């Protein structure tokens, strides 16, 4: 940084993002996302879709991330969550196209999103949710070959200094504990 800017007490960060009246976009690095995306490339080499593989597993097995499944849809935890309780709703049938869903699959997708929201409300009491899908690689989809929706619980202030300054996202609950809590609440909701 030039001495004259040091003298005006402009921080290094301000200097890097604002120069001669131009403002530049800041990057927020999330190295865990690279590990996440690379894990799918490795699985694609084996021609194994992690969602198709998950559809073959049993919810009662504590070594997988399944929360619920039926004949056409499954709900599972995200291995690399943005927040505690980050769930994915996935059709059992392998498709990458939203418009290929049948009426029954579309209805079940919405039903699972609603059940997920209820379960997450009961377990975590979030103040909001992000719900959506990334369709195609350009949208940021980590697994573009198999359609899935995300439901991410949110709290005011859940983006704190750690991701901004430390380049680390703090997830306070272990996935197996999260799974157990959500499976129990799912059963309770579905038996009402």
45 part of a folded domain: yes
Query: Is-contact 109 72, C-beta < 8 A?
Result: no
SS3 12: helix
DSSP string, 89-145: EEESS--S-GGG--HHHHHHHHHHHHHHHHHHHHHH--SEEEEE---SGGGT-SSTT
Q: Give the global pTM.
A: 0.72
84-117 pLDDT, tens digit each: 899 999 999 999 999 999 999 999 999 999 999 9
- The single residue of 86, 94, 146, 148 carrying the catalytic annotation is 148
CATH code of the domain in which 46 resides: 3.30.428.10
In a domain, 82, yes or no: yes
Establish if 7 belongs to a structural domain: no
Q: Is 148 one of the annotated active-site residues of the chain?
A: yes
Q: In this prediction, what percent of the chain has a pLDDT beyond 70?
A: 68
Q: Give the range of the structural domain holding residue 47, as residue numbers without chain letter.
A: 28-190
The total domain count for the chain is: 1
């Amino acid at each position: 940084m030039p001495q004259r800017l040091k003298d005006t007490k402009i921080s290094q960060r301000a200097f890097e993002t604002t120069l001669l009246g131009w403002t530049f976009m800041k990057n927020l690095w999330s190295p865990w996302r690279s590990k996440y995306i690379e894990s799918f490339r490795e699985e694609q080499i084996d021609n194994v879709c992690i969602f198709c593989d998950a559809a073959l597993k049993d919810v009662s097995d504590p070594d997988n991330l399944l929360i619920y499944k039926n004949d056409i849809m499954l709900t599972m935890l995200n291995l690399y969550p943005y927040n505690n309780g980050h769930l994915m709703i996935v059709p059992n049938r392998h498709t990458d196209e939203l418009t290929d869903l049948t009426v029954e699959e579309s209805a079940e997708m919405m039903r699972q999103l609603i059940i997920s929201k209820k379960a997450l409300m009961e377990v975590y009491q979030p103040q909001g949710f992000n719900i959506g899908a990334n369709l195609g690689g350009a949208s940021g989809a980590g697994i573009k070959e198999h359609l899935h929706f995300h439901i991410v619980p949110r709290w005011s202030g859940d983006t704190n200094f750690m991701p901004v300054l430390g380049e680390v996202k703090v997830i306070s609950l272990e996935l197996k504990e999260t799974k157990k809590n959500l499976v129990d609440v799912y059963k309770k909701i579905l038996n009402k």
